[in-house]
Amino acid sequence: MSHRLLEGKKGIVLGVANKRSIAWAIAKAAHEAGAALAFTFQGEKLKEKVEDLLKGLPAPCPLYPCDVTSDEDLALVAESLRKDLGTIDFLVHSVAFADRADLEGSFLNTSRKGYHLAQDVSSYSLTALARMAAPLMPSGGSIITLTYLGSERAVKNYNVMGVAKAALESSVRYLAVDLGPRQIRVNALSAGPINTLAARGISGFTEILDVVAQRSPLQRNVEVEEVAHAAIFLLSPLSSGITGEVLYVDAGYHIVGI
């Protein structure tokens, strides 16, 4: 399916939490497309989980600890990448966090602390990572991040994460301008709702899946593999003319009016 589109390319994937993670689907597809990969994990609890997943890949992959809110961690990741891979061609940012309490009820009640946390982890981290990664991409590269329609529509319960994703999508455009002269492209994939760890336990999530299946042009939800395939396109030279873009992989849901 992915036609070795990333043959000879090297990249880093942030945001693998378990086998259902969008980041893991992208990593598997990138591996099949011929890429050499490095990974990060956040916190000791996830270390073993990610290590176990990596055992399923034929090639051994470097794995680094990385809390994206820590500048020291980001500097260490850059140093390790330089040592282990030399240079890289792509970076996959599939990281977000908000307090559970801020993903239900009224957005109106979002605390300063909750707002700041969501922005720091889910939005600022892309800029910090792009700054860290750019010097490792001397012959250009591709940076992608994951977003959701709640950034531009008021989607019930998405709340503070919607505001963080709006900032993230805007960051994609500003970063695309800053990094364009170095032939580094920056794009976002806007995925339809997918049953991942992040989505589990979100009140009303099943209802959202049902609404998309009823109203989207394709009359169904998207599979995580479909998001991964679009990711390979954005990471590969097939998309060499595309930067600063938000590409929807949502069964067409976002284009529908009535």
Q: Which of 76, 128, 166, 199 binds ligand 1JT (CB under 6 A)?
A: 199
Map the footprint of ligand 1JT across residues 118-137, applying CB under 6 A.
Answer: none
Q: How far is the CB of 253 from ligand 1JT (least distance, A)?
A: 12
**Closer residue to ligand 1JT, CB minimum distance, 97 or 124:** 97
Determine which one of 64, 115, 124, 158 is catalytic. Answer: 158
Q: How far is CA 203 from the centre of its chain?
A: 22
H/E/C letters for each residue in 12-32?
Answer: EEECCCCCCCHHHHHHHHHHH
**Closer residue to ligand 1JT, CB minimum distance, 17 or 61:** 17
Residues 157, 204: contact at Cβ < 8 Å?
yes
Residues 231, 26: contact at Cβ < 8 Å?
yes
- Greatest CA separation for the chain: 54
198 is an interface residue for ligand 1JT by CB under 6 A: yes
211 is an interface residue for ligand 1JT by CB under 6 A: no
**Closer residue to ligand 1JT, CB minimum distance, 103 or 136:** 103
148 is an interface residue for ligand 1JT by CB under 6 A: yes
d(CA 80, CA 58): 21
Q: How far is the CB of 144 from ligand 1JT (least distance, A)?
A: 15
* Total H helices, total E strands in the chain: 8, 7
Q: Which of 80, 157, 190, 216 binds ligand 1JT (CB under 6 A)?
A: 157
Is 158 a catalytic site residue? yes
Size of site (CB under 6 A) for ligand 1JT = 16
CA geometry: angle 172, 176, 178, nearest 5 deg = 120
Q: Which CA distances in Å does 112 have to 26, 123, 172, 202?
A: 33, 16, 24, 21
Say which residues have a Cβ less than 8 Å from residue 226's Cβ, sequence separation at least 6.
249
Determine which one of 64, 115, 124, 148 is catalytic. Answer: 148
Q: How far is the CB of 122 from ligand 1JT (least distance, A)?
A: 6
Q: How far is the CB of 163 from ligand 1JT (least distance, A)?
A: 12
**Closer residue to ligand 1JT, CB minimum distance, 157 or 171:** 157
Map the footprint of ligand 1JT across residues 85-104, applying CB under 6 A.
Answer: 96-98, 103
d(CA 145, CA 57): 23
Across the strands, what pairs with 92?
13, 144
Residues designated as active site: 148, 158
Name the residues that contact ligand 1JT, by CB under 6 A.
96-98, 103, 148, 150, 155-158, 161, 193, 198-199, 202, 208
